[in-house]
Structure 1
Amino acid sequence: MEKFEKVKQLISDIETDAGKFYNSNNGAAGTRVRKAMQDLKVLATEIRKEVTEKKNAK
């Protein structure tokens, strides 16, 4: 559940930069959004792996 909380926090953190990128065309904010989305992808993959392992362990 800890990783799921990290996902929620990461999405919350991205929100400001996404607004800056989409509304103000701030290129640096776009770079931060792209990095955060990559981090989100890694976390999602880890969560999927954990869920599969736990499900198969039953």
Structure 2
Amino acid sequence: MKELLEKISAEYEAFQKDAALQVENGNKAAGTRARKSSLSLEKLMKEFRKASLEDSKK
């Protein structure tokens, strides 16, 4: 689960950086990267939810 949290943190940092570039500078490529990161975050969060539920049942 610790590995999963590290992946989520790294992906969120990438999302924040790219989203800020899009908002501040109008960088369209950064917007594309931010949207891709948001999809990855969604998948990672679903994995976290499953892992969290499994751990709570122990």
Query: Which TM-score tier does this pair reach, normalised by the shorter chain?
Result: 0.7 to 0.9
Letter in 2 for 1:34: R
Deviations 1:31-53 (A, max 9, x none): 10000010001000001001101
Unaligned 5+ residue runs, structure 2?
none
Q: Which residue of 1 aligns with 2:49?
A: 48
Letter in 2 for 1:32: R
TM-score normalized by structure 2?
Answer: 0.86
TM-score normalized by structure 1?
Answer: 0.86
Distance 1:39 1:5 in 2: 13
The structure, 1 or 2, with the larger RCO (C-alpha pairs under 8 Å, 6+ apart) is 2
What's the % identity of the aligned pairs? Answer: 35
Unaligned 5+ residue runs, structure 1?
none
Bigger shift: residues 15-24 or 42-51: 15-24
Q: Which residue of 2 aligns with 1:6?
A: 7
How many matched pairs? 57
RMSD: 1.1
Which contiguous aligned blocks of 4+ residues in structure 1 show a shift greater than 3 angstroms? none
